[in-house]
Chain A
Amino acid sequence: MSDELKSRQFIALSLTINGKSWEGKVPAEETLLEFVRNRLGLTGTKRSCESEVCGACTVLVDNQAVSACNYLAFEAEGKRVLTIEGLEVDGKLDPLQEAFIRNVGAQCGYCTPGQIMAAKALLLENPSPTREQIAEWLSGNICRCGAYPAIARSVLEAARVEQTRKEKRNA
């Protein structure tokens, strides 16, 4: 091993996490999942397959869904990271969270933060998706309890609620 490697490499990082700025240094190999869970204590984001298959660790980086388990933290430099904890605004849940509660879009709940964050990315890109588009998009988020119908219902309903609110605001 070369001299250069005798010490770990720490990389300066400055980002926005759930609307707040964070500055510091992180080891080069630290994943975004380790960063939010271990460093920031934001444990809503779940670790599961660690292979970018299950979707339990989905967070948004500049509104794009990523697997936090397989995303190096230093890559979030200058970006906005949003986790499930950041969806609530001024004590009010996101329409997606409300819809998941109303429709019981979960059974055990372990995949739910990932499902909601993936759905959030979808609604940011396509505010009124069809059921098929929701199914296609969320096919990368696995729910071992099989709550898929209720999850799809929740997302459809949240999309409708947001659209109605938007129309009212614009009226």
Chain B
Amino acid sequence: MLTPFHVLHPTTIPEATRELQRLGERVKVYAGGAELLLLLRHKLLEAEYLLNIKGIRELNGIVRDGSLLRIGATVTHHRLESDPLVRECLPMLAHAESQVANIRVRNQGTLGGNLCFNDPHSDPSTSLLVYEAKVMVAGRSGVREMPLNEFLMGMYATALEPDELLIEVLVPPLQSGFGDAYLRVHNFQRPTLGVAVAARLQDERIAGVRLAVGCIGPKAERLGELEAQLMGASMVEAERVIGQSRPYLNDLLQPVNDLLGSADYKLYIAQVLLQRGLEQAVHSNGGHESVG
């Protein structure tokens, strides 16, 4: 049984942010409930009010806007894995979304809810970091835009202020010539490790590369230094560079020992999947594969 709460049903963004200001910590945003209701059931979180933002029509769209896709906060994972526009423009995101938990969670859980919860064991954020996604956040003084990697601050922590609402995720498709790959290992429907790669070869040398690793530390991270080292490398050299990146990955990702595996194991698998993901990205140009 859930502890009783009241549900509020705003129909506009200003109405929703006004309620957040009015009620502060007593209200929790309800965007799908996949994670929020679990936390309430297990009494890890208390809420006197749920702010049901699913009735705000503007938050439920997937729209092409120039070179971007604008994805509303209440778009579900299942919609993202099956939407023709997302599959065409952001195939790696569509694939990562198809890997989220199970079909019931994907029918209920939303992208906005997922990002705001920032569970370390999550698929969408890793691929969105490679797309260099931005988020739009509405608050008392209007709407602000920020890069996703600044929004995701730490384990279950984001840059969202208590009276702010994540309204949209802006995702630019990869430039032409880039291939991509999202590889993961998982255990009981939760990812142990997720690796997202976008890369482009020119004259057999890496002419562009973006890498992100999620799930093994507090939050998903872009691997900026490793990307810089890989520029201009041949694929053979790239494999060696990734093979030597362990100290860097350890410092950046802060892997932990847990029931999903030791920190050593996770670092090793991260390197293997980075090597495989790079290979797959440059050769298959949008091909996808799931491991485990």
Whether B104 contacts A72 by the Cβ 8 Å rule is: no
Task: Knowing A4-B6, A9-B7, A29-B2 are in contact, say whether A140-B104 is a contact too (CB < 8 A).
Answer: yes
- Nearest-neighbour CB distance to chain B for A168, whole angstroms, equals 30
- Nearest-neighbour CB distance to chain A for B193, whole angstroms, equals 18
Across the two chains, which residue of chain A brings its CB closest to B188?
A: A53
CA gap between A5 and B49 in the complex, in Å: 9
Instruction: State whether the Cβ of B228 lies closer than 8 Å to any Cβ in chain A.
Output: no
* Consensus secondary structure, chain A interface: mixed
Interface size class of A (residues with CB under 8 A): 20 to 34
CA gap between A27 and B3 in the complex, in Å: 11
Q: Return chain B residues, CB-CB under 8 Å to A29.
A: 1-5
Across the two chains, which residue of chain A brings its CB closest to B290?
A: A136
Whether A65 contacts B107 by the Cβ 8 Å rule is: yes
Q: Return chain A residues, CB-CB under 8 Å to B38.
A: 51-52, 70
Interface centre among B1, B50, B108 (most CB of A within 10 A): B108
Task: Knowing A53-B188, A140-B101 are in contact, say whether A70-B108 is a contact too (CB < 8 A).
Answer: yes
Q: Mark A128-160, 1 if CB is under 8 A from B, else 0.
A: 000000000101110000000000000000000
Across the two chains, which residue of chain A brings its CB closest to B38?
A: A51
Q: Return chain B residues, CB-CB under 8 Å to A4.
A: 6
CA gap between A31 and B6 in the complex, in Å: 14
Q: Return chain B residues, CB-CB under 8 Å to A70.
A: 33-34, 37-38, 41, 108
- Nearest-neighbour CB distance to chain A for B23, whole angstroms, equals 9
Q: Mark A32-63, 1 if CB is under 8 A from B, else 0.
A: 00100000000000000011110100100000
CA gap between A55 and B41 in the complex, in Å: 17
CA gap between A27 and B102 in the complex, in Å: 28
Whether A66 contacts B5 by the Cβ 8 Å rule is: no
Q: Mark B30-59, 1 if CB is under 8 A from A, else 0.
A: 000110011001000000101000000000
Instruction: State whether the Cβ of A74 lies closer than 8 Å to any Cβ in chain B.
Output: yes
Q: Return chain B residues, CB-CB under 8 Å to A65.
A: 103-104, 107
Identify 11 residue pairs between A and B in the complex whose beta-carbon atoms are under 8 Å apart, listed by A's number. A9-B4, A9-B7, A31-B37, A52-B101, A52-B102, A52-B104, A53-B188, A70-B37, A71-B108, A72-B37, A140-B189
